[in-house]
Amino acid sequence: MTRLNGKTAVITGGATGIGLAAAKRFIEEGAFVFIFGRRQDALDAALVELGANARAVQGSVSDEADLDKLYAAVKTERGTLDVIFANAGMGSLLPLGKLTAEHIDETFNTNVKGTIFTVQKALPLMGEGGSIILTGSSAGTTGAPAFSVYSASKAAVRNLARTWAEDLKGTGIRVNVLSPGATATELAKAAIGEEGLKVFASMNPLQRMADPAEIGAAAAFLASPDSSFMTASELAVDGGLAQI
């Protein structure tokens, strides 16, 4: 498939998990991809898998200077940008009664502030036909025990797409949310553990966790012209968890 032939994409949180799976799929479909992440070792390992049509930039979405470095690299090598997959995110379990300011700040700085500036700083490089994809979560709709701050941050991401679709009227740039359910990534395992993932998997009608490649395939759809009449939408790839 060549739905993304000649397009340039940025994927934050692109070295592992959903981001890496999306990068692989984008490249398979013809895109040139910049992956962005905090760990240089993970970025280096990802580049070995991704091959010649990928570049890596190290940094954090919560640091505006790092984002400036990312888009400077894109502009220097490619000139313009067609797809931004604002995928970097984090979350950890902490119930009401034990929440801390540090926990709230860390989650919102990455998931909300990081998403905002990832997109805002990309706009000067984007034009008509551009696609912005935000990573949401089924937790942004349903909530989850001890996951209130993460869930709230993903609900905020969902609403960013609604308001940005209005802000982007007349530009030809679309913005949509991709909301996975329980996905078998290393980040998810670290956040809630293997047993926690099994619990979440048992809650959806398909009775399993998603493979990251399944989420990557959905991201490729939103990046491509196949979704050209979609904006402000949420694409749930959650095994039905938040739909019943």
- CA nearest to 225, candidates 10, 14, 74, 1: 1
Distance CA 159, CA 143 (A): 15
- Of the residues 69, 75, 150, 198, only one is catalytic, namely 150
Q: Which amino acid is at 183?
A: T
- 71 residue type, one letter: Y
Strand blocks (E) in the chain = 8-12, 32-37, 54-58, 83-86, 131-135, 174-180, 234-237
CA atoms of 78 and 34, how far apart (whole Å): 10
Assess whether 169 carries a catalytic annotation. Answer: no
Amino acid (one-letter) located at 132:
I
Annotation says 7 is catalytic: no
Residue 97 has φ and ψ, to the nearest 5°, of: 105, -20
Which residue is catalytic, options 24, 98, 154, 189? Answer: 154
Confirm if 50 and 24 have CB atoms less than 8 A apart: yes
Residue type, 95: P
Q: Which residues are catalytic?
A: 150, 154
